[in-house]
Structure 1
Amino acid sequence: MSIPNIITLARIILVPVIIWAIASNEMEIAFAIFVIAGVSDAVDGFLAKRFNMASELGALLDPLADKALLVSIYVALGIWGAMPRWIVILVVSRDIMIVSAVIVSWLFDKPVEMKPLMVSKLNTAAQVALAALILASLGFGFKPMPYDAVLMGLVTVFTLVSVSLYLVEWIRHMSTIEAN
């Protein structure tokens, strides 16, 4: 177990803590934990690359930790009423569709190579920025407008474009399966 993997596991453990903070209306704590999670993501990535500690486990755990954190925060903020439900549904549905496609690919013994597209990296950055803005505005009592609308627009566009591109690539990949 490498140091980057331990940091990633710690980030996964932070997920229920941040959800507790949101559910308990402890938004300053939720924001602080979110910042800690973001810094830990950068640190584990830096360590893995800089000191050649990258591993297959880390390659699976890191995006899982990111998705667990973001999806949980979006759902919690949606339930809490701080995030529009339509954007929560959009973000969560995209991730469900991608995970479902990967599972179907495995079931057909035709696993897809899991490498993120640039638009997906932009999508993640926009999702992180929106979640941070909403958490900060709730924790420190300021109005997030108009930045929240701009970020929601970016999240919407990047989410729709990325899921479309992944779907096209997945269909292309799966179309090579022969019927029995």
Structure 2
Amino acid sequence: MNIPNQITISRIFLIPVFMIFLLVPFGWGEMALLGTEIPVSHLIAAIIFIVAAATDWLDGYYARKHNLVTNMGKFLDPLADKLLITAAFVSLTGLDMFPAWAAVLILSREFAVTGLRLVASGEGEVIAASNWGKWKTVSQIVAASAIMLHNIIFEMLAIPFAEIMVYAAVILTLISGIDYFIKNKHVIKNTK
């Protein structure tokens, strides 16, 4: 297994770690950070989540720079993204920090595109991430991070940044899902 794929796998292993800090009430209290009270465990969870999300850029950069792009990487990378995002949004919804309607829309698109990829894989095709898909991922990561960080900085400015990013993530998620299905409709038409 090459280094980019190992980096991708590390993203998957960081998922339960960030979830533990987000979901387990350690009783460490809160800290004031840039004018916002934030539970210490949520701050740690957000840092781990952001590090895990950053590995998405790192593995892709390394793979392209060293010509190590593989079909396994094309499959694992979006899967790791989906697992990370699913874990974040389901956890945040369970904590009443993320709207359930947004989680349902986002996760429905994620599962639909994963299904499309599986069908394509059965036909011997690999569907790589599109630019819309990459922007969608960035918006989802920013939305989840802003929520975990309790809208730090923006809270002082009375700007509902986290809420704005939720809407942006939903819109980009739906656009990218439609884009995947339009560009790959041949995959569905060719199935028997």
> Is TM (by shorter chain) over 0.5?
yes
Structure 1 runs (4+) deviating above 4 angstroms are none
Counterpart for residue 144 of structure 2: 131
What amino acid sits opposite 2:86 in the alignment? Answer: V
Q: Answer yes or no: is the 8 Å Cα contact 1:8–1:40 preserved in 2.
A: yes
Identity of aligned residues (%): 28
Q: Answer yes or no: is the 8 Å Cα contact 2:135–2:172 preserved in 1.
A: yes
TM-score (structure 1 length as normaliser): 0.83
- Helix, strand or coil at the partner of 1:114: coil
Counterpart for residue 6 of structure 2: 6
Matched pairs, number: 175
> In the alignment, does 2:170 pair up with 1:156?
yes
Counterpart for residue 165 of structure 1: 179
CA distance in 1, matches of 2:94, 2:23: 9
- The answer for unaligned runs of 5 or more in structure 2 is 26-40
What amino acid sits opposite 1:162 in the alignment? Answer: S
Moved more, 42-51 or 68-77: 42-51
2:42 to 7, 10, 27: 27
**Aligned-residue CA RMSD (Å):** 2.4
- Helix, strand or coil at the partner of 1:54: coil
Counterpart for residue 28 of structure 2: none
Specify which structure has the higher proportion of helix.
1
Deviation at 1:149, TM superposition (A): 2.5
Deviation at 1:142, TM superposition (A): 7.2
CA distance in 2, matches of 1:51, 1:170: 28
Q: Answer yes or no: is the 8 Å Cα contact 1:2–1:53 preserved in 2.
A: yes
TM-score (structure 2 length as normaliser): 0.79
